A and B are shown apart, each in its own frame.
Chain A
Amino acid sequence: MHSIKLITTYLYTRYERFWHWLQMLLIFLLLITGFEIHGVYSLMGFEQAVEVHNFLGITWLIAFAFFVFWIFTTGEWKQYIPTTKKLLEVIHYYGFGIFKGESHPVPKRKGAKHNPLQRLTYLSLAAMLLPIQMFTGIFYWTYNSWESWGLDFLSLNVVALIHLAGAFSILAFIVVHVYMTTTGHSIFAHIKAMITGWEEIEEGEEVEDWEKASRGLCSENASAKEV
């Protein structure tokens, strides 16, 4: 590991980083207020918690629309195409190799910032879990309009429970996600990258074709410099 040369690469664009941390803040506050509404603890009071939760939810929804626009116009969506290629190797690495000091089988590269496990996780998060939270949240919020929208077959009980199950899933994801940031070549390498955009990665290995998102991706300020 130490014999391999490290280079710094610009991996995350400014908007991407901004989106990541904004979303982190929103989800963090949504979880805090959401679990208060669920009666787990009492912090700001039920009424305040509901108001803040609804406000943040709508804010997140608007911000998410911009993210969707960004991901499709930049072609970044290709980074989320799921693959089983090397998936087992990645799982094997996190399960065993990491303890033996092996190298990551699919290191981060410009134009391929997600390994197969991340692709799968982030896709199910961005395309399934988060939209489920948003839709159940909207339905929860607009409970009184169900009848006029012809949605009276919905049950608040079911909607609320899906929303809650989603919240637990997101919380569990965050626990693992935050821990996984420490598995870079140094403990804070990944977090630093998400703040500055620059990540130190191992020199060498080419980005394989299947990993490539598109040509000219991340071209903004794209200059790799040696450490």
Chain B
Amino acid sequence: MMFKLTHKRYVLYFLWICFLFFASTLLFANQDQDAPGLELARQVVKEAKNTTTADHSQFKALNQNFTSGPEISKACLSCHTEAAKQLKKTLHWTWLDPNSPKDNQMGKAGYSVNNFCISANAMNDHHCNECHIGWNEEGKKAEIDCLKCHGRKKINWEEVLGDYKYFAESKDPEENALAKDAQAEIHEVVQSIGRPTRKNCGSCHFSGGGGDGVKHGDLDPSLINPNKELDVHMGYDGQDFECTRCHTTIAHHVAGRIYGTPASETRHSLLEHDLEPKIMCESCHSDKPHASSSKMNDHTDKVACQACHVPVIAKVLPVQRWWDWSKAGKKKDGKPYDVNGPFGKPVYQTTKGDTKWEKNVVPKYLWFNGSIKGVTAKDMIDPSKIVKLAWPNGNRNDKNARIFPFNIHSGKQPYDTVNKTMTTPLLSGEHGYWTTFDWQDSIQRGAKYLDLPFSGKIDFVETAYVFPSTHMVSPREEALKCSQCHTRSDSRLANLAGFYMPGRDKVNIIDFAGWAIVLCSFGGIVLHALGRIFTNGRKKEE
């Protein structure tokens, strides 16, 4: 009876412990389920089907004989009557930031200066205009080229249109037949129309700055046909997103950051506002993307999704990390030359100077409220420091700012030592630096296009330029582990100060005092124990 009773009690105690752990387990439940944010995103992207209602090969306007590019655009605009008007209002056409002051306007067509080809000299550096959406390199004087963004097939227009003209004007019927072939080829291209693909956007955004992967680090031609490893959203073996899936468009305005204007200031999910652009991670994943009990959800107010989910950039192709213009102009036997280095990328070019390339770059983490502060050719600089030509706005106390990963490109550029401004050398063309290798002359000419003063005295200053790392999102298994930031040594956030981060930070005096007290206690008991052993021993001898 007595045993039975005791036995019963132990069972009760056991049950009590079970209850205890069960109760606290409730608070940490759902850990194994897929996160609500993931479920949400899956619903948003369900059943993506082709929704086109037009077959462009059936349109008469696209079956006429085309002898020039602008004729093609005219045919497009005969149906899409508003397209040109819309496009010409967008940053993609104006190259001007509508939200910056008119007398010191940001933008490639404005006074912006970057770390690469420095300035487009108000669109007079014609080489830069290759990326402008026009049929030639005359900048905004050109007719818009719809096919740059909407054409699914790419041909060498100069060659094909030239062939057509030549053969069509010929008296030889055999050559006339060749003209027909050329026109058929043109028709095939102009009738293959659609929303912009990764290839369309990439023709400029993957290869800006004069080559593949010069600029971003998270955008390069490897994204034309990426696998899931490279980008979990764009991977052909996964969701196969085109750029436009997130960069949604209203009247040709493509969602995204415009210099000092964030891509989105609200970070709403589509559940909160269904017409919001899908440009933020939160748009589809919400701001609580992880399992409901996960501590990770508590990070989203201060740490951008990208900080953990874009752990490394330039995963397939190298990105340029350094461009030193001060080394440009050296010649071999009186001739310009190139030296290739690792990855088959140039490490020296007479035209451009020293460059360095890197793969698998670990981003740098900075506070970012979504806008970037740029330097223009009109802004005064402090040449005693590294000049930050583009740097994120935001700090720890900014409610909209979060810790964000960046690719920081560094380099050296000429600046005006008297006016204390960056200079804007003209690069391409017969009077450009790439032909004359004369800084004085090319800077003088470049300044003239922008109506800027130039003292004639230059030196080189180190510059830095940031790109937010937001593409090349890795599969979740590759996301950063807690311990890659929450660690004493080699924390990815080692450079960010002003807040306490468990595992990374300690206050030496507390640690010192704490261990001192523990050690003193230990020393005290050891002495006390020795005292007891010693005195007891002596007593026994008595």
Contacts and interface: CB of A to CB of B under 8 A. Distances in A.
A164 B510 contact: yes
B20 A63 contact: yes
Interface stretch (B137-145, B149-157, B328-336, B501-509): B501-509
6 contacts: A143-B298, A155-B500, A156-B500, A164-B514, A171-B518, A175-B518
Contacts of A24: none
Nearest to B296: A47
Interface string B509-535: 011011101101110110011011001
Given A59-B23, A157-B499, 14 more contacts: A22-B17, A45-B483, A46-B481, A46-B486, A50-B482, A51-B295, A55-B24, A99-B532, A143-B298, A161-B510, A168-B515, A168-B518, A172-B521, A183-B532
Interface in A191-207: none
A168 B514 contact: yes
B220 to A, nearest CB: 32
B343 interface: no
Contacts of B483: 42, 45-47
Contact of B24 (A62, A99, A161): A62
A29 B342 CA distance: 51
Contacts of B24: 55, 58-59, 62
Interface string A96-110: 001111000000000
Contact of A39 (B9, B503, B535): B503
B502 A37 contact: yes
A9 to B, nearest CB: 20
A182 B530 CA distance: 13
A14 B510 contact: no
Interface string A138-159: 0000011000000000011100
Contact of A168 (B23, B517, B528): B517
A54 interface: yes
B398 to A, nearest CB: 15
Contacts of A63: 20
A44 to B, nearest CB: 11
Interface residues of B, number: 45
A39 B500 CA distance: 13
A188 interface: no
A39 B502 CA distance: 8
A68 interface: no
A115 to B, nearest CB: 17
A164 B512 CA distance: 12
Nearest to B522: A175
Contact of B499 (A54, A62, A100, A156): A156
A167 B504 CA distance: 18
Contacts of B536: 101
Contacts of A167: 514
Given A143-B298, A144-B301, A160 B499 contact: no
Pick the 9 closest A-B CB pairs, nearest first: A168-B514, A179-B525, A157-B500, A46-B483, A99-B535, A58-B24, A47-B482, A144-B298, A59-B24
B9 A169 contact: no
A38 interface: yes
Nearest to A143: B298
Contacts of B27: 58
Contacts of B503: 37-39, 46
A91 interface: no
A70 to B, nearest CB: 12
A88 interface: no
Contact of B13 (A18, A47, A168, A183): A18
A161 B532 contact: no
Interface centre among B13, B301, B521 (most CB of A within 10 A): B521
A50 B295 contact: yes
Nearest to B524: A176
Nearest to A1: B539
B529 to A, nearest CB: 7
A165 B510 contact: yes
Nearest to B538: A99
Contacts of A94: 528
Most buried by B among A22, A42, A175: A175
A179 B529 contact: yes
A62 B486 CA distance: 29
B23 A62 contact: yes
A124 B312 CA distance: 50
A164 B13 CA distance: 32
Nearest to A157: B500
B28 A39 contact: no
Report which residue of B511, B514, B522 has the largest number of chain A beta carbons within 10 angstroms of its beta carbon: B514
Contacts of B23: 58-59, 62
A54 B518 contact: no
B50 to A, nearest CB: 43
Contacts of B506: 38-39
Contacts of A99: 531-532, 535
A182 B535 CA distance: 16
B241 to A, nearest CB: 29
A175 B514 contact: no
B8 interface: no
Interface centre among B17, B524, B525 (most CB of A within 10 A): B525
Contact of B500 (A18, A160, A179): A160
A93 to B, nearest CB: 12
Contacts of B504: 39
A14 B21 contact: no
A38 B502 contact: yes
A162 to B, nearest CB: 9
B9 A14 contact: yes
B192 interface: no
Interface in B369-403: none
A182 B529 CA distance: 9
B476 interface: no
B287 to A, nearest CB: 11
Nearest to B23: A62
Contacts of B515: 168
B32 to A, nearest CB: 13
B481 A47 contact: yes
Contacts of A51: 28, 295
